[in-house]
Amino acid sequence: MNKETALSKQIEDILVARNLRGMKTVQPALVPGYYLRAARILNKCKGHVLIGTGFPVVDTFETDGPVGAIALYQALEKLGATPVLVCGPPVSQALMADFRVHEIRVGEHQERTLEAFQALYNYNPDAVVSIERPGQAADGGYYNMRGESISERTACFDTFVKNAKCPTIAIGDGGNEIGMGNISEALKDLDITASATCVDELLIADVSNWGAYGIIAFLSQWNDRDLLGEIRPLDILQYLSNLGSVDGVTRINELTEDGLPVEEGDSIISELRAAIGY
């Protein structure tokens, strides 16, 4: 195992160490080096990178996903790429004032598929990334961690992933997110209605936001810039909270992610910075 693959394995282990929703359990289903491989794809990007995020919770959106998406957006922008956040209302409307946003909407499947093809043609992205975005189950529906159907509130990002002519990357933490089709067999023992949507590189983490930090660790090292140290999770959480976000577990508007205090995310960033020598 070379140095970079060993570092990737270290990062992969850090990101599932808490095993909050079984990701450590299913980790053996993935070929080690997945964070390294995903980061290599993104490090080459100089054009558009589409970042899908936003998980519907009651009538708003959760903090897990957008925090990582914003952190990755900012890192890629600093490195010369043109990231675009792809999401549906209300998160799309909330973020439009401050970020490039492509809005997707709930609606008739054929019409939405045509819109996805048009967007992919227009942006001609270098990569498509999904961070904590609901993935279609085998029955075509969308389900949350409680097994409740959220199909009526979920715009389809799967179509972007399935039809992209560029590399596709997904980050998930529970089994019901885009990309989890890669390890469908391993997910059978988890109490989840799993996603069937596949990607080129699936990344797992205890909290999906943290998966973005795993990618940024490599981008930091290769570009000789402490991009990880420039992330301010509390500031992003406060920004999202002001726009009406809720914690996906507690369903309360608070400065937490998946029921965890912001200090947990800060701790992960510290561990990753130490791993890459910052």
pLDDT of residue 98: 98
Q: Region 17-39: what's the mean pLDDT?
A: 97
Residue 108 clears pLDDT 80, i.e. is over it:
no
pLDDT of residue 86: 98
Quick: pLDDT tens for 30-73: 999 999 999 999 999 999 999 999 999 988 999 999 999 999 99
Q: For the chain, list the domains and their CATH numbers.
A: 3-275 (3.90.1640.20)
Confidence of residue 246 (pLDDT cuts 50, 70, 90): very high
Q: Are 87 and 132 in contact (CB under 8 A)?
A: no
Q: What is the mean pLDDT of the chain?
A: 96
Please state the pTM of the whole predicted model.
Answer: 0.97
pLDDT of residue 1: 76
Count CA atoms within 13 Å of residue 81 on its CB side. Answer: 25
pLDDT of residue 41: 98
Confidence of residue 253 (pLDDT cuts 50, 70, 90): very high
Q: Which residues contact 8 (CB under 8 A, 6 or more apart)?
A: 32, 33, 34, 35, 36, 37, 218
In angstroms, the Cα distances linking 266 to 7, 83, 185, 235, 269 are: 20, 24, 33, 12, 5
Q: Are 230 and 172 in contact (CB under 8 A)?
A: no
pLDDT of residue 111: 79
pLDDT of residue 203: 98
Confidence of residue 23 (pLDDT cuts 50, 70, 90): very high
Q: Are 271 and 15 in contact (CB under 8 A)?
A: no
Residue 109 clears pLDDT 80, i.e. is over it:
no
pLDDT of residue 58: 87
Class of residue 141 by CB neighbours under 10 A (exposed 0-12, middle 13-18, buried 19+) = middle
